[in-house]
Structure 1
Amino acid sequence: MIHLLTKTTHIAADWLVRIAAVGLILMTLIIGWQVFGRYVLNSTPSWSEQASLALMIWYVSLAAAAGVREGFHIRIVALENAVGPRTRLWMRIASNIVVGACGVAMLVWGGQLVTKTWGHVIPSLGIPRGLAYLGLPIAGALMALFSVERVLEEISGEKIEDEEDPRWS
């Protein structure tokens, strides 16, 4: 069961990183166009700022979710390295539970934000404001799922095979 979950979440995390990279590239192009328009054409595109902000919410949220799965978030390991293996195991489980709880909070409160702002239109883009925020609850759900996977990994003693985990360095 955990192997199927691991395989599925690894594929999902890879796609999240790819989607986030495309979002970053698009935002960079949009900001470049905005600067070109402002300083060369003397006409700033009205949509560029809101489009780049919406993209940033999405790509940062999705990349953060992938970071939970791949274990490449920043953390301090000095205390973890100073304790025994059993305490270290429980510290990792506890930290993954905290991250999962943060994901659930993003899911719940991000979902409320999406619901409350869906009726508001971003004038320069003509899309619901809630669409710009939709990445928050999606990423929160994925963070919670990835955290559950990491807890199961720690409990079972099996390591996720192809993750980029800072504990390896």
Structure 2
Amino acid sequence: MLEKLAKITRAASEIMMKFAAAGLVLMTVIVGWQVFGRYVLNSSPSWSEQASLTLMIWYVSFAAAAGVREGFHIRIVAVENAAPARARRYMRIASNLVVAGCGAAMLVWGGDLVARTWSHVIPSLGLPRGLAYLGLPIAGALIVLFAVERALEEARGLKSEDEEDPRWS
């Protein structure tokens, strides 16, 4: 069952990373258009700032969730590496459960933020303000799922590899 979950979460993580990359590119284009409009045309578009901020909330949230699944988030492992093997395993399980708790907080309080701001309209976009924040509870739910998956893998003795940038090794 854990193998089926891993296939699903791997696919979800890849989709989120592609969405995050596309959001970053789109935000860069929007900000570039805003700068061009301001300094060349002497008239910057009114919607560009809010659109880029909304995109940023979404793509940062999704990239953070994918980072939990793929293990490319920042963490300090000095204490973990100094501990005996058995203690390291329990430390990794505990850290994944703490991350799951943070994801649950994002889910609950992000959902509350969405509900409280849904009736407010972003004037320059004509969209509900809650839509801008909807990425927070979605990413929170995914963080819970990914962190629990990693904790279960660790508890079962499966090696959950972190993606490591070779430049830092």
Q: What TM-score comes out, normalization by structure 1 length?
A: 0.95
Deviation at 1:19, TM superposition (A): 0.2
RMSD: 1.2
Partner of 1:153: 153
Deviations 1:49-97 (A, max 9, x none): 0000000000000000000000001111110010101110111011000
Please tell me whether the aligned partners of residues 118 and 128 of structure 1 are also in contact (alpha carbons under 8 angstroms). Answer: yes
Amino acid at match of 1:145: L
For 1:44 and 1:10, the matched residues in 2 are separated by 40
Amino acid at match of 1:104: A
Partner of 1:102: 102
Please tell me whether the aligned partners of residues 120 and 128 of structure 1 are also in contact (alpha carbons under 8 angstroms). Answer: yes
Bigger mean CA offset, 151-160 vs 33-42: 151-160
SS at 1:159 equivalent:
coil
Q: Unpaired runs of 5+ in structure 1? A: none
Q: Unpaired runs of 5+ in structure 2? A: none
Partner of 1:45: 45
For 2:34 and 2:101, the matched residues in 1 are separated by 38
Amino acid at match of 2:101: A
Partner of 1:143: 143
SS at 2:43 equivalent:
coil
Amino acid at match of 1:75: R
Partner of 1:164: 163
Runs of 4+ aligned structure 1 residues displaced above 2 Å come to: none
Q: Report the identity percentage.
A: 71
Partner of 1:54: 54
Partner of 2:114: 114
Amino acid at match of 1:42: N
Deviation at 1:160, TM superposition (A): 4.2
For 2:9 and 2:106, the matched residues in 1 are separated by 19
Please tell me whether the aligned partners of residues 6 and 160 of structure 1 are also in contact (alpha carbons under 8 angstroms). Answer: no
For 2:4 and 2:14, the matched residues in 1 are separated by 16
